Structure 1
């Protein structure tokens, strides 16, 4: 397919462009900065005219796209003032969704966020592992935008029953170089409780995007995207018992099993994480290996 990726110069975006290109797709990166060439175009996503123009075609480059992967955003709370985060991210996503609709593009995959689950879990989650079944619990302006984006996707797909929009609730994106810091997390179980000790390797995040482009059906669906294990060497059951003693654990947890349930993504998208930090950082030992 001809796929346009917004925010392709970012941490996850680089992995997504690499994966989609390897899969044989013709990929264009829309971002404010990037490597000059035929696969990159400078676009301000806050400007609807720029977005719809490039989606319709670009002289000497392309005549349109088959699918959109929307990753371009201020990527976390606290990077910019709250009002600026709201304005940038909400407007950018509306412009991308609306421009895709006007251009006749029927497949959109975009970055929602694990934050809609209630991060940083200062209020206990309703149960562990968390999943997509309980109502969103935004605790920041950044997360509020993600919730509103998901509702906007519901309405866009209601307007156009042929349109497919997939919201991927990505966990904390990590590259292999980041795994060097993981041993320090073991010193205090509370250090990473804010997202239930979850993460997503950028390469597996890219796999989830590829799966959604291939498998998603018309309508809107949201999926938690995390790796199958936690960032900790301690068992998942012991972490849950210590940090969230009043929260019901609704299944028997594997030794290091994620508490961000990816069962739905596995079942409907065929998502299957391949890059655990435990393999990428071989000098790290776990309690079962001591």
Structure 2
């Protein structure tokens, strides 16, 4: 046994893949799960489940006996109504997790941030770990919450805790249960409900590589450093072409100007929602799509040995897993 690890967010997309890899690599896993959480992603796994939340005062008691901590859990929401909940969960929850880890004598913590906390450059140069967008330029409350959560990590590091920060880009693959916004794109595409796209771009990575990157950060990462866990920069059109080839369907050809989905989103979120309609498009999501969210992940490749699996394989895994769950699709 390499050690006992405590994992938050084990039922989520990245967490579910991480837990499986930890078990394969001979770690013992204790996972924090919320009351009434959907345990589909951890069903039948040989792990210890403890019930609680990120803001529990006695969280450290649940960590006692563990050697390492992977703090993966976070709230992802682009809805304006969730601003306070994002702060409570992602910022204050993260602060409490670090406090609990210190009290429980955790040897090393891997904190799952996001490239969202880094932001994007506007000069055409790929953003790396040395770049930081001013927080006021980060679009939306989710990105800002991840930025402020990273600041809590740095404060904990200054107080003497051994913390390594990883910043995944856009993971693709199996166990995307909710699904993520990218998983939602795949679902909509597979259902034939994606008539067009906007001119944006993302950095994609196989979610299994993200999981491996977490373990490599534990074993090789430098305290206080952050590592972008990414792989290939693709425009949305290029991603959809790959998806179309793998799913044997036609890619959408209509390119929407960003003002069109933005107008729909404003109407959806701020007008129709007040009339009782569940909004389907978040304003912040459309604003993000006005940028190319491209990144340079060579630091993690060179210093950690981050794998760079072909994105086609990751898309295929995502399609096969999501297709197997088509009866539960909500889109």
Shift of 1:157: 1.5
Aligned residue pairs, count: 243
Shift of 1:180: 5.0
The verdict on how the C-alpha distance between 1:210 and 1:45 changes in structure 2, with shifts beyond 3 A counting, is: same
11, 15, 18: which one aligns with 2:17: 15
Question: Structure 2 unaligned runs (5+)?
Answer: 177-182, 240-256, 258-292, 320-331
Question: Structure 1 unaligned runs (5+)?
Answer: 57-63, 236-242, 244-257, 285-290
2:207–2:314 contact (8 Å) kept in structure 1: no
The verdict on how the C-alpha distance between 1:279 and 1:54 changes in structure 2, with shifts beyond 3 A counting, is: closer
Which region of structure 1 is more displaced relative to structure 2, 222-231 or 170-179? 170-179
Residue pairs, 1:141-160, within 5 angstroms: 141-160=141-160
Query: Does residue 39 in structure 1 map to residue 48 in structure 2?
Result: yes
The verdict on how the C-alpha distance between 1:40 and 1:117 changes in structure 2, with shifts beyond 3 A counting, is: same
Larger helix percent: 2
The verdict on how the C-alpha distance between 1:175 and 1:281 changes in structure 2, with shifts beyond 3 A counting, is: closer
Structure 2 distance, partners of 1:201, 1:76, is 22
Structure 2 distance, partners of 1:262, 1:38, is 31
Aligned to 2:242: none
Query: Does residue 270 in structure 1 map to residue 271 in structure 2?
Result: no
Which region of structure 1 is more displaced relative to structure 2, 201-210 or 175-184? 175-184
Aligned to 1:252: none
Aligned to 2:7: 5
TM-score by length of 2: 0.65
The verdict on how the C-alpha distance between 1:103 and 1:198 changes in structure 2, with shifts beyond 3 A counting, is: same
Aligned to 1:94: 95
Aligned to 1:130: 127
1:68–1:107 contact (8 Å) kept in structure 2: yes
The verdict on how the C-alpha distance between 1:96 and 1:275 changes in structure 2, with shifts beyond 3 A counting, is: farther
TM-score by length of 1: 0.73
Shift of 1:187: 5.5
Q: Deviations over 1:77-106 (max 9, x none)?
A: 328610111112212101111111111112
